Amino acid sequence: MDIIRIILAVLLPPLGVFLQVGFGLHFWVNILLTILGYIPGIVHAIWIIARR
């Protein structure tokens, strides 16, 4: 299941984070990072998925 989340995190970073943690603080931080730059959003999403 983590492979699917990582693939989704590369395509749509907030979706990958949402599937991992729901509508928590990390989701909103990832939305902000994705708006500011796509790559920081991907890095944050993969970090959240790999950490848990």
Distance (Å, rounded) from C-alpha 7 to C-alpha 16? 8
Return the biggest CA–CA distance within the chain: 28
Distance (Å, rounded) from C-alpha 16 to C-alpha 22? 10
**Percentage of residues in the chain with pLDDT exceeding 90?**
94
Q: Average pLDDT in the 38-48 region? A: 96
pTM of the complete model: 0.91
3-state secondary structure 9-52: HHHCHHHHHHHHHCCCHHHHHHHHHHHHCHHHHHHHHHHHHHHC
